[in-house]
Amino acid sequence: MNIVLTGGGSAGHIIPNLALVEDLKKYFENIYYIGSTNKNEQKLVEEYGIPYYSIDTPKLIRKLTLKNLKIPFKLLKSINDCKKILSSLDTNIVFSKGGYISLPVVIAAHKLGIKVVIHESDTTMGLSNRLSSHFCDKICTTFPSQRHSKKYVQTGAPIRKEFFKAPKKQFFKNNKPTILVVGGSQGSNTINSFIYDNINFLTKDYNVIHLCGNNKLQKIDNNNYIQYEFSNEMPLLINSSDIVLTRGGANALFEIATINKPMIIVPLTKKESRGEQIDNAKYFMQNNLACYLPKLELNSFVDCIKTQLNNSKKICSLQNSFLNNNGNQNIIKVIIETSKI
């Protein structure tokens, strides 16, 4: 059997797919990927030895603009391109992690009579997955779904195996607690500015490891501060830290919780997104799994650090109880069962 994975627009749509590859190889002769024309996304996939097919797909611009009028025509072309690719690969099933790139793949598969399983990471469904839900056979969810339908299955999150056996490293020559700052795969200008403005104050009591994003490095001379543009060693960095400042993407939150680290969540605002990160952050806060800050202010940030570190044992215990560490196996089971229908 052959399976096609899809999802793109950010690393958050790709990395969860890659978390399943090792297990998928046990059941499928060939694994292929249909993604965006972004070379970084293509490189991520091809590092796993998976053939990558890029398609040019329109993305909805979330404001009034004439450019959105072209979307139906561009989408139709993308669907036709996907139909040709899926047919040529003799595809048995498609697994989608969402993002705008996935919609034409899902629709094309549906038109060809190919089974489709999608996965939604967030507490609320994104636009692409909402549209894809009409063309798929099963919908896997990380969080409990409010929808009472046989189509929905709560599986948990796909987590890379590296997060269950994360190594540890001493990055600093002192015993201060270490804060890992992660602004998402692209980095966050808001978080970066906050760290740069307050780094001398923060490093009086803490070490800081800062992932700032591509082309966003700053020259800062401070022995208690390290910065990277991007890292493929997230399990190591998380496990080498005492607390993590992160955005509210569900994949990142579950990866951090898997390693049992206290976290402070500063989600994207509704001006920057559809608000899913706020919902994720509130869910984690309500379950006492993290501290949620609507915006970054120094006093509240430091208060959160102290509270989280003082209660780290309790928080880690709650994370262990909350997590479904069988997410990968649950998703694979749904894919296999759906492929046989």
Question: What's the pLDDT band for 136 if we cut at 50, 70, 90?
Answer: very high
pLDDT tens digit string along 18-27?
Answer: 999 999 999 9
Select from 288, 293, 292, 291 the least CA-distant residue to 317.
Answer: 288
Residues 6+ apart with CB under 8 A from 322: 257, 287, 289
- Res. 61: pLDDT tops 70: no
Angle at 324 between CA 318 and CA 325, to 5 degrees: 105
Question: What's the pLDDT band for 63 if we cut at 50, 70, 90?
Answer: low
The pLDDT value recorded for residue 159 is: 92
- Res. 225: pLDDT tops 90: yes
How far is it, in rounded angstroms, from Cα 188 to Cα 304? Answer: 20
- Res. 64: pLDDT tops 70: no
Is 168 within 8 Å of 236 (Cβ atoms)?
A: yes
pLDDT tens digit string along 156-199?
Answer: 999 999 999 999 999 999 999 999 999 876 778 999 999 999 99
Q: What share of the chain is helix, strand, coil (3-state, %, to 5)?
A: 40, 15, 45
Mean pLDDT over each residue of the chain, to the nearest integer:
90
Classify strands 152-154 and 138-141 as parallel, antiparallel or unpaired.
parallel
The pLDDT value recorded for residue 58 is: 66
Q: Which amino acid is at 156?
A: G
Residue 169, both tokens: 């490293």
Is 150 within 8 Å of 136 (Cβ atoms)?
A: no
Distances (CA, A) of 276 to 58, 204, 224: 21, 34, 34
The residue among 185 and 83 whose pLDDT is bigger is 83
How far is it, in rounded angstroms, from Cα 213 to Cα 216? Answer: 6
Q: What is the mean pLDDT of residues 285-310?
A: 95
Question: What's the pLDDT band for 277 if we cut at 50, 70, 90?
Answer: very high
Give the other-Cβ count within 10 Å of 16's Cβ: 27
Q: What is the mean pLDDT of residues 291-295?
A: 95
Question: What's the pLDDT band for 147 if we cut at 50, 70, 90?
Answer: confident
How far is it, in rounded angstroms, from Cα 135 to Cα 112? Answer: 11
The pLDDT value recorded for residue 212 is: 92
Question: What's the pLDDT band for 149 if we cut at 50, 70, 90?
Answer: confident
The pLDDT value recorded for residue 71 is: 67
Distances (CA, A) of 98 to 129, 196, 228: 6, 33, 28
The residue among 237 and 320 whose pLDDT is bigger is 237
The pLDDT value recorded for residue 59 is: 67
| Token pair 């309500």 in the structure block, residue | 286
Structural domains of the chain ordered from first start: 2-159+325-339 (3.40.50.2000), 163-322 (3.40.50.2000)
- Res. 231: pLDDT tops 90: no
Q: What is the mean pLDDT of residues 237-244?
A: 97
pLDDT tens digit string along 85-126?
Answer: 999 999 999 999 988 899 999 999 999 999 999 999 998 888
Select from 92, 78, 72 the least CA-distant residue to 137.
Answer: 92
Q: Is 10 helix (H, G, I), strand (E, B) or coil?
A: coil
